[in-house]
Amino acid sequence: MADAKNERTFIMVKPDGVQRGVVGDVIHRFERRGYKLVALKMIQATRALLESHYEEHKGKKFYETLLAYIGSGPVVAMVWEGLNVVAVGRKMLGATDPAKSEPGTIRGDFGIVTGRNIVHGSDSEKSAQREIGLWFRSDEINLWPHTAEQWIYE
């Protein structure tokens, strides 16, 4: 994207995070960081959507278990926008293995085991674009003025 502060990432609160009531905590942390929420929906993902989303893991030992887990309940899919949101968002989530996540990260504070690690976040701008395109139609992305930007960016 032309303006670096318009970088976007895909963040998903997985079924365990929804069931454990941490959706608000995840949103709160991204908002407090200064990022702008431009799309959000709670959805029960179809098998086809999950196969597309996790296509890079097809054939791996954990693939079917992963699809079953993510498909076991509703998820909250979000698109966040802001400067370095992909890289910083990943740091905010913490390591994939919650036991290796720093305190203060989402997984470090709420996760216990890798197989139930609360959230997913895009690992690159390219992945973010692909994942956003899978989960959201373009008319579901809201372009709105974030009046706090004058207090966030130089």
- Just list the catalytic residues: 120
Q: Which residues of 113-134 are buried (b: 16+ CB within 10 A; e: fewer)?
A: eeebbbbbbbeeeeebebbbee
Angle, helix 23-33 to helix 85-93, in steps of 10 degrees: 140
Cα(67)–Cα(69) distance, rounded to whole angstroms?
A: 5
For the chain, the distance separating the N- and C-terminal CA atoms, rounded to the nearest angstrom, is 19
Question: 74 — alpha (psi -120 to 50), left (phi > 0) or beta?
Answer: beta
CA-closest candidate to residue 85, choices 28, 2, 145, 11 = 11
